[in-house]
Chains A and B, each alone.
Chain A
Amino acid sequence: MIIKFLKNNFALIASFLASLILSGIIILLLGENPFRIFGIFISSAFGSWNNIAYTLFFATPLIFTGLSVAVCFRCGLFNIGAEGQLYMGAFACAYVGFTFADFPGYLLIPLSILFSIGAGGFIGLIPGYLKAKTGAHEVIVTIMLNFIAIGFTGYFVSGPFKNPGDLIPQTQLISESAHIPKIGELFGILGIKSSIPLNFSFIIAVFICLLVYFIFKYTTFGYEIKAVGLNKKAASASGINVNRIIILTFVLGGAIAGLVGVNEVMGYRYRFLDGFSAGYGYLGIAVALLGRNHPAGVFISAVIFGAVMRGGLLVDVYSDKISKDFVYIIQGILILFVVSGELWNKFRIQIDAEKQR
């Protein structure tokens, strides 16, 4: 079993090791001890329940964006637009949260979540619709839409919805009844401090993972997504409405990305802050790639990326030579190695050839 798993995921594992080695060399070049740095990474990401909670907090938005990209990938669509989708989702979430401030929690919380999903889904609808109706390439459209969506939210929070008196562009706080609980408050037994921002949206993320798995495996929609992704012509000839599937898939992807807003607004900052995303949408591409577009894989790779982000923060503190931006280097290297499929194929063929002899 394990050997089969290793064999099937040879390229991923090899990429992972290669990235580790290359990052180690760079750390060495920067005048640090790689083992010490990796030690900090690991202990600060997984050293205790509290650290794990931090890691999962960073992983949560990546699970959403990773799934968003993966769902679209499955349909043969490249969603680079998760960044824009999540900004819109977050803003809509905050908007509901402070506009309907006198709603009770049992109404306001679902409503806010619905709005993040809806706003994300709406931004996802645009590239899907344009692709289906005009054939416009979704990569270009989503890249452009990111800037447009970020522009809009930026305008909202520096103009009409700016919290008066604040120097930075951000909205006012959302109503307390829209807050979702921290994991520390929910599960006291683990001893996770309630100051740690990991919140209920992580549970939503896990649920969405399961939901996506369910859609892929057990629904006709999932079947049709896969058919369209693998062969549009054959799918269409078999009676599948390809355009409809493309649009629906993009809406689903956008909606999932929109959920990042729940984590950010309802579980962490309680307001919309301009430029809050650390490139979650773009990293989602890497997460999906590393997770091989499978929900479980996306979860695992989001946790890995989350760990890198969490570790980066502490490395920044404990080393004066390496700043927290080092995580971008690790992530970039990892992406480049993982995507170099043929490199590993060649490797593999050579290893197989050696074995034959």
Chain B
Amino acid sequence: MKPCIRLKKISKRFGSVLANDDVNLTVYSGEIHSIVGGNGAGKTTLMNILYGLVKPDSGEIFINGEKTDIRSSKNAISKDIGMIHQDFLFIENMDAVDNIILGKEPLKMGIVDKKKAKKKIKNLSEKYHLSFDVDKNISELSMGERQRIEIVKVLYRNAKILILDEPTAVLTPQEVKELFNILRALKKGGSTIIFISHKLKEVLEISDRISIMRSGRMVKTLSAKDAELKDLAVKMIGGELPEIEEKHYQGDEKVLVSVDNLSLKSKDGKKILKDISFEIKSGEIFGIAGIEGNGQKELEECLTGNLIYDSGSITVECAILWDISSKYFKDNGVSRIPSNRNELGLISGFKLYENLILGYINDKPFSNFCLLNYNEINKECKKIVKDYDIEPPDIYQLTENLSGGNQQKVVIGREFSKEPLFLIAAHPTRGVDIKGSWFIHKKLRENREKGSAVLLISSDLEELFTLCDRIGVIYNGEIVDIVKPENITFDEIGVLMLSGLTSFR
């Protein structure tokens, strides 16, 4: 086999983040090559560089042995490279045909020949069993359909090298199976495939070779035959995790939070959350496990008063939260670490001290009759910065200049220090390095010890098993089972997450 792509010493920096650090990668033609790595490892950046969407600071790209300067995606396309983006790139209010042919439109007498285009698209979608409605606007299509369109988009350009950036994140297990069949068919047809994921099982199933990235660096490339799940995980995370300290808190059995029959429908009537019910006791960490996109995001929004649910109730310390607004929920002791801290948890253009009081600005010591009390604010902020080890500790700096881990500490420090009754932590360690993660876990436990009810939403099973007293598995908007981590294995919970079927147990 001969190398079809070689990336040599690729580096790319975004502000304070070194997204790619001297990365080397060789992909042989005709193979399915996976790149695995945690969130923020730099996988997408590396692929964007290969596809010409991001300009590297340094490094070289060789395609079929030839040094190639890829300045734009146009160059990449001309080298038969196609990319399916992590967060699909579509023109939402154009139809599938226009989206597919854009940039390579068939012509008839100066006019875009949509008929011909449709025919070609139909042939492609039949050949690879990629079905979707060509005439509908993208905004009306499901995630699965969108992904199939993305694949056709690439095939339409006769791409021989396909990059798929976390294609399975939004798919149901059946759709994943179909996708893998398509990928195998493509491979048989001679395509080279770069497959990106952080789900190790899938990767082991589909790949020929696997490359592992961690915090911007390429750790190792190995053959899938020689790879072992545990070994991969260790390499991905960087060193063995210390043993879980089995000290689950024995709370005082007082139910602090109870969620009853929470339901939510989307605008088009699809059920997003179905009768979600659970209780959390004081001093308990309750986990929500599930493949992303099964309703976790909406659950998080409903539980914090940011999304109006259709029916059901949320009770915190015997008080039903009747006014669905983030302010009312906050005032009643609900607090959260949002899954997307940059969008919801922080205002990156704020000075650090401004972020440390975000959401608490109208509370007593910080303001009086609408006037800010800088003495109190400074005191509180300096305390949080010290307690939570935020580096550098200057409260007047711009928050956007902090590293990802420290930004997360800002959110966590702010919320934890208020000792909330009900704490919702959604993916609290996502994009945070190992050291930071352990610190965050420590603080989560401390909060539990203080008697909060904690809800931990995570897609990281390791994290859930380490911290939670009980875990609810969410599938298709439904809590299909509630389990204790000591009574279930990784495999078993994996099946639950993928299929929602409890019968196997």
Contacts and interface: CB of A to CB of B under 8 A. Distances in A.
Interface of A: 217-221, 223-224, 226-227, 230-231, 233-241
A238 B337 CA distance: 11
11 contacts: A220-B372, A223-B354, A227-B347, A230-B348, A233-B343, A234-B345, A234-B346, A237-B344, A238-B326, A238-B358, A239-B330
Interface of B: 304, 306, 325-327, 330, 338, 343-350, 354, 358-359, 361-362, 367, 370-372
Given A220-B367, A231-B347, A239 B359 contact: yes
Contacts of A219: 370-372
Given A231-B347, A231-B349, A224 B361 contact: yes
Given A220-B367, A241-B327, 14 more contacts: A219-B370, A227-B358, A230-B350, A231-B343, A234-B343, A234-B345, A234-B346, A234-B347, A234-B358, A237-B304, A237-B306, A238-B330, A239-B325, A239-B327
Contact of A238 (B349, B359, B371): B359
A237 B362 contact: no
A234 B410 CA distance: 14
B371 A218 contact: yes
Contacts of A237: 304, 306, 326, 338, 344-345, 359
Contacts of B358: 227, 234, 238
Nearest to B349: A230
Which of B330, B347, B371 lies at the interface centre, i.e. has the most chain A CB atoms within 10 A of its CB?
A: B347
B58 to A, nearest CB: 15
Nearest to B367: A220
Nearest to A224: B361
Contacts of B338: 237
B347 A236 contact: no
A233 B347 CA distance: 9
A220 B366 CA distance: 9
Contacts of A240: 327
B350 A221 contact: no
Nearest to A223: B361
Contact of B326 (A217, A231, A239): A239
Contacts of A241: 327
Contacts of B325: 239
B300 to A, nearest CB: 10
Contacts of A221: 370
5 tightest A-B CB contacts, nearest first = A238-B359, A239-B327, A230-B349, A231-B347, A237-B344
B326 A227 contact: no
Nearest to A231: B347
B428 to A, nearest CB: 16
A235 B361 contact: no
B362 A220 contact: yes
A236 B346 contact: no
B359 A220 contact: no
Nearest to A228: B347
A224 B347 CA distance: 12
Contacts of B346: 231, 234
Contacts of A239: 325-327, 330, 359
A237 B326 CA distance: 6
Nearest to A221: B370
Contact of A218 (B343, B349, B372): B372
A241 B358 CA distance: 13
Nearest to B330: A239
Contacts of A220: 361-362, 367, 370-372
A227 B357 CA distance: 11
A241 B306 CA distance: 12
A234 B347 CA distance: 7
Which of A223, A224, A234 lies at the interface centre, i.e. has the most chain B CB atoms within 10 A of its CB?
A: A234
Nearest to B327: A239
A234 B370 contact: no
A135 B10 CA distance: 44
A226 B354 contact: yes
Contacts of B304: 237
A222 to B, nearest CB: 8
Contacts of B347: 227, 230-231, 234-235
Which of A230, A231, A241 lies at the interface centre, i.e. has the most chain B CB atoms within 10 A of its CB?
A: A231
A224 B361 CA distance: 9
Given A224-B361, A226-B354, A231-B348, A236 B367 contact: no
B358 to A, nearest CB: 5
Contacts of B370: 219-221
